[in-house]
Amino acid sequence: MLDFTIDTLLHFLNLTLFNPLFCVLYLRVLQVMGHPLDGPLFRLSAAHTAFAACVWGLRWLAARFRRGRTVNWKEEVVVVTGGASGVGCLVAEMLATKAGKVAVLDVREVESEQENVFYFQCDVSDAIQVNRVAAQIVEKLGHPTMLLNIAGIVAGKTILGLTESEIRRGVDVNLLAHFWTVKAFLPEMVRRDRGHVVTMASALAFAGCPQAAEYCAAKSALLAFHESLRYELKTRSSPFSYNAPHVRTTLLCPGGISTALFRGVYYPIPFVTPVLEPTAVADEILRALDEDCGRTVYKPFYVNLMPLMRALPVEARDLIMAVMGPNEAMRTWTGYKLKDQ
């Protein structure tokens, strides 16, 4: 039985109340029932139908405008960091059925039955290792055309409980690794003006969470990293930009995902904050890659509201945090320890 959440409700409304075809059908029903065309109910329904049609039309135009080239998957070389488990592993397996070659970077060995998935042992927080493995990938598979930075870790400790090495390790993997992989693989994408960089941030980029300070801080920094990269690629007039507008950038800010990384986290109001299945996140990544369009993905729905919390008075934010439960969420955490990475 499927859980009923606010996302389920919004999906239903999107298929009905906000669907122009459904609205037109409803107008016809009103007409058949004898409601006068100049009556208040019919006029209100007609206005709503026009609004729904405008919104749908703008969405369609936006999708058409963003869509890029037709991706020839057999020619693509995709690099996935953190591909030994969780979302990274699932994405790598899904890509293997589409892409020509998939290179997985992880400290743990990948078990895959796909012939076109190639494992490279690499600690992505180490720039020297990343550069060495990048050279191996280019020699063996060719220049990567897509880079998916998915690797992530969390210590699950309070700020005072974290050791210096745990803090550095968390920031290195969750933030600095993105710099090293982009510096290693982006130059050829820029030269060809073709490619795609996917950055895995988090809903926790918008709100601090006890026992996850190093994770939240790094994910928050990734927002600025992503935007800086995007504008460096798009800007044409500056001599310090790349003038590579066809290199796409996608940012993902998912809420809780049902993987081992955040196993045991407590969600007090699952109707509002449902836990995502890894397939939901993987599907969003593949959709962005397949359409060759950069996008920002907030999922599930409540994540769309989290950036707005920054504009609220601190008292209102404290109340929301207390009610929604993130302050207590990590108390029951039993996910991966740093030593397991």
Same-domain pairing of 311 and 195: yes
Least trusted range by pLDDT, from 61-75, 94-108, 130-144, 201-215: 61-75
**Catalytic site includes residue 298:** no
> Is pLDDT of 146 > 60?
yes
Selecting among 215, 298, 302, 336, the annotated active-site residue is 215
pLDDT, the chain, mean: 91
pLDDT for the residue 236: 64
Instruction: Return the residue matching tokens 């135009």.
Output: 61
Tell me: do 216 and 242 sit in the same domain. Answer: yes
- According to the model, what pLDDT value does residue 65 have? 73
* CB neighbour class for 208 (10 Å; exposed up to 12, middle 13-18, buried from 19): middle
* pLDDT beyond 90 at 136: yes
The pLDDT-based confidence of 238 (bands split at 50, 70, 90) is low
Q: Is residue 1 part of a domain?
A: no
Q: Which residues of 30-60 are buried (b: 16+ CB within 10 A; e: fewer)?
A: beeeebeeeeeeeeebeebbeebeeebeeee
Of residues 204, 136, 119, 198, the one with CA closest to residue 170: 204
Lowest-confidence pick of 9-13, 146-150, 334-338: 334-338
Confidence of residue 260 (pLDDT cuts 50, 70, 90): very high
12 and 95 fall within a common domain: no
CATH assignment at residue 188: 3.40.50.720
Residues 58 and 86 in one domain: no
With bands split at pLDDT 50, 70 and 90, how would you rate the model's confidence at 68? confident
What is the β-pairing status of strands 101-106 and 117-121?
parallel
Active-site hit among 101, 219, 298, 336 = 219
Task: Say which amino acid occupies 151.
Answer: A
Confidence of residue 337 (pLDDT cuts 50, 70, 90): low
Residue with tokens 């320890």: 337
Domain count for the chain: 2
- Residue 329: both structure tokens together: 């969420």
For the segment 276-286, the average pLDDT, to the nearest whole number, is 96
Residues 156 and 17 in one domain: no
Across the range 148-153, mean pLDDT stands at 96
The residue among 85, 80, 5 whose CA lies nearest residue 255 is 5
Q: Last residue of some domain: 33, 66, 99?
A: 66
Domain endpoint, select from 66, 93, 108: 66
**In the chain, % of residues over pLDDT 70:** 96
Domain's final residue, options 66, 86, 105: 66
pLDDT of residue 240: 65
Residue 326, pLDDT score: 80
Asked if residue 98 lies in contact with residue 74, where contact means CB atoms within 8 angstroms, the answer is no
User: Which of the residue ranges 69-73, 129-133, 226-230, 334-338 would you say has the lowest mean pLDDT?
Assistant: 334-338
Distance between terminal CA atoms of the chain? 34
Whether the per-residue pLDDT at 277 is higher than 60: the answer is yes
Q: Range of 38's domain?
A: 6-66
Predicted pLDDT of residue 64: 74
Across 86-112, average pLDDT? 92
Both 121 and 24 in a single domain? no
Confidence band of 69 (pLDDT split at 50, 70, 90)? confident
283 within some domain: yes
% pLDDT > 90, the chain = 69
Residue 219 annotated as catalytic: yes
3-state helix/strand/coil string of the chain: CCCCCHHHHHHHHHHCCCCHHHHHHHHHHHHHCCCCCCCHHHHHHHHHHHHHHHHHHHHHHHHHHHCCCCCCHHHCEEEEECCCCHHHHHHHHHHHCCCCEEEEEECCCCCCCCCCEEEEECCCCCHHHHHHHHHHHHHHHCCCCEEEECCCCCCCCCCCCCCHHHHHHHHHHHHHHHHHHHHHHHHHHHHHCCEEEEEECCHHHCCCCCCCHHHHHHHHHHHHHHHHHHHHHHCCCCCCCCCCCCEEEEEEEECCECCHHHCCCCCCCCCCCCCECHHHHHHHHHHHHHHCCCCEEEECHHHHHHHHHHHCCHHHHHHHHHHHCHHHHHHHCCCCCHHHC
Same domain? 24 vs 133: no
pLDDT given for residue 61 in this prediction: 82
Residue with tokens 């078990």: 111
Name the token pair of 173. Answer: 């993997």
Please state whether beta strands 195-200 and 146-149 pair in parallel, antiparallel, or not at all (unpaired).
parallel
Rg (CA), the chain: 23
* Residue 66, beta-bridge partner list: none
- Inform me whether the pLDDT recorded for 319 exceeds 80: yes
Band of pLDDT at residue 322, cut at 50, 70 and 90: confident
Give this prediction's pTM. 0.88
